[in-house]
């Protein structure tokens, strides 16, 4: 079956279109045009944050067998990031604190596809924004999230003494002094 893309106007095979299971048909734009639009949307701050927000919804079982929940709306998430930017700018919250911003690493928001042209997975952008939970035993709440970089999130399993001091300071701010972002 052949179909004409509503965006580029090319006539392509149905395998070049994503299946729309809700309508039992195919999308009106070809995969190439849809992917281009998705990348363009994700390269905006709002689009990038929406993608991060949606990824928190994934059903990931914890090691204790329960599912993590996201307990805030997208608008609340956007507001939390705006507060983060007021305090840290486009820098990670992971570091010695707002009085020493020069020691906090910059955050990027660069959308990347999930696969390269050769079919292999695209490499992770280590400087990109990552939304982490301060306490992994608790759900995603505004009080429990922190805006850091992918590389800082990934190295948690190899935490240094300095990393532990930062973690303790942030945990005290959020859960003892009860300061949300």
pLDDT digits (tens, 9 = 90+) for 108-145: 998 876 565 566 777 778 999 999 988 888 889 999 99
Specify whether the CB–CB gap between 177 and 123 falls below 8 A: no
Q: How confident is the model at residue 74 (pLDDT cuts 50, 70, 90)?
A: very high
pLDDT at 10: 95
Question: Token digits for 20?
Answer: 């729309």
Measured distance CA(26)–CA(99) in Å, rounded = 53
Say which residue, 79 or 63, is predicted with more confidence.
Answer: 79
| DSSP run (H or E) holding 26 | strand 25-30
**57's tokens:** 């919804």
Between CA 55 and CA 94 the distance in angstroms is 21
Reported in sequence order, the residue ranges of the chain that DSSP labels E, i.e. its strands, are 2-4, 11-13, 17-20, 25-30, 129-133, 145-149
State both tokens at 162.
């300095």
* Matching residue, tokens 């906090």: 104
Mean pLDDT over the full length of the chain: 86
**105 CB neighbour count, 10 Å cutoff:** 15
pLDDT digits (tens, 9 = 90+) for 101-115: 999 999 999 887 656
Per the listing, tokens 């914890």 go with 62
**Which H or E run contains 1?**
none
**Is 0.75 surpassed by the pTM of this model?**
yes
């Amino acid at each position: 079956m052949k179909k004409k893309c509503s965006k580029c106007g090319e006539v392509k095979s149905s395998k070049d279109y994503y299946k729309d299971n809700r309508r039992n048909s195919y999308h009106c734009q070809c995969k190439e045009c849809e992917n281009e639009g998705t990348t363009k949307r994700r390269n905006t701050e709002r689009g990038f944050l929406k993608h991060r927000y949606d990824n928190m919804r994934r059903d990931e079982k914890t090691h204790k067998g329960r599912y993590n929940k996201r307990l805030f709306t997208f608008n609340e998430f956007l507001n939390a990031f705006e507060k983060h930017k007021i305090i840290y700018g486009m820098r990670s919250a992971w570091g010695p604190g707002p009085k020493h911003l020069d020691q906090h690493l910059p955050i990027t928001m660069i959308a990347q596809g999930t696969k390269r042209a050769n079919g292999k997975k695209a490499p992770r952008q280590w400087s990109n924004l990552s939304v982490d939970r301060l306490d992994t035993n608790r759900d995603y709440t505004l009080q429990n999230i922190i805006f850091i970089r992918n590389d800082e999130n990934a190295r948690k399993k190899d935490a240094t003494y300095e990393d532990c001091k930062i973690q303790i300071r942030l945990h005290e701010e959020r859960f003892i002094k009860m300061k949300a972002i």
